[in-house]
């Protein structure tokens, strides 16, 4: 078990899945141990270029924070403030994108967007194929984001959401089990302890 590897799989299609922590270089994208990204269309090593969109942290001071043991499917996107056109302006034209053309100072550029802040993804989150996570959203531990869902609001821990915009489908477990899981925080265990308890984890045995 080594989350510092790039490719955790062997055999056919081994290079379609990567440990994100090993390939992301942007200090404003923080990824926990063993979180994987799969991409059968593009090189998964290009995650921060292809999947983290309109991310201008020097201007908007935003971060993407992803917890441990997350599973991110092909084409999932994280959409930041720079992709918005402000609603408070008289025009929707993106003047701040062209500051030299219009003589805009940096502070005016940053102020021009409706900044909703960081995207925070908890631990053990599964993000489905081509799902879109919008700026300012927090997704709780153990949540599942359905295929092509567009997540515009926070998602509670261990909740399944889907649709456009994403709506709650159901909880994965009853409230008592969710409280136990949040207290257990198995993703913070040493990897050897996780390995020793895999049968119970994989078979839903609290």
Its domain, for residue 45, covers: 14-200
* Digit-coded pLDDT (tens) for 81-134: 877 777 777 888 877 778 888 888 766 666 667 778 899 999 999 999 999 999
Residue 7 lies inside a defined structural domain of this protein: no
Q: Is residue 5 part of a domain?
A: no
CB 146 within 8 A of CB 130: no
3-state secondary structure of 133: strand
Catalytically active residues are: 85
Confidence of residue 42 (pLDDT cuts 50, 70, 90): very high
Within a domain: 19: yes
The structure's pTM equals 0.91
Q: What total of structural domains would you count in the chain?
A: 1
Please tell me the predicted confidence (pLDDT) of residue 141: 98
Quick one: average pLDDT of 17-33? 96
- Spacing of C-alpha 122 from chain mean position: 8
User: Could you give the 3-state DSSP secondary structure of residue 201?
Assistant: helix
Arithmetic mean of pLDDT, 28-35 = 97
CATH number at residue 100: 2.160.10.10
**Is residue 146 in a domain?**
yes
From residue 78, alpha-carbon distances to 96, 170, 178 in Å are 21, 23, 26
Percent of the chain with pLDDT over 90: 71
pLDDT recorded at residue 110: 62
Q: Does 43 fall in a domain?
A: yes
Tell me whether residue 205 is in a domain.
no
> Is residue 101 assigned to a domain?
yes
E-state strands within the chain: 17-19, 29-31, 36-38, 52-53, 64-66, 71-72, 77-79, 119-121, 126-127, 132-134, 138-139, 144-145, 150-151, 159-162, 167-171
Spell out the long-range contacts of 15-19 with Cβ–Cβ below 8 A and sequence spacing 24 or more: 15/43, 15/44, 16/40, 16/44, 17/44, 18/44, 18/45, 18/47
Closest CA to 55 of 77, 40, 39, 71: 77
Tell me whether residue 155 is in a domain.
yes
Helix (H) or strand (E) segment spanning residue 58: helix 57-60
């Amino acid at each position: 078990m080594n989350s510092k590897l790039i490719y955790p799989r062997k055999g056919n299609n081994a290079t379609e899945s990567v440990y994100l922590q090993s390939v992301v270089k942007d200090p404003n994208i923080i990824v926990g141990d063993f979180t994987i990204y799969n991409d059968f269309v593009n090189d998964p090593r290009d995650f921060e270029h292809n999947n983290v969109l309109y991310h201008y942290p020097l201007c908007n001071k935003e971060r993407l924070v992803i917890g441990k043991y997350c599973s991110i499917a092909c084409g999932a996107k994280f959409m930041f403030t720079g992709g918005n056109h402000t609603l408070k302006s008289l025009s929707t034209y993106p003047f701040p994108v062209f500051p030299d053309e219009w003589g805009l100072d940096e502070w005016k550029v940053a102020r021009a967007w409706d900044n909703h802040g960081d995207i925070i993804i908890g631990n053990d989150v599964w993000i489905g194929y081509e799902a879109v996570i919008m700026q300012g959203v927090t997704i709780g531990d153990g949540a599942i984001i359905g295929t092509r869902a567009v997540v515009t609001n926070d998602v509670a821990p261990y909740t399944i959401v889907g649709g456009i915009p994403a709506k709650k489908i159901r909880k994965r477990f009853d409230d008592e089990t969710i409280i136990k899981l949040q207290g257990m925080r198995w993703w913070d265990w040493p990897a050897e302890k996780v390995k020793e308890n895999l049968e119970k984890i994989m078979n839903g045995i609290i």
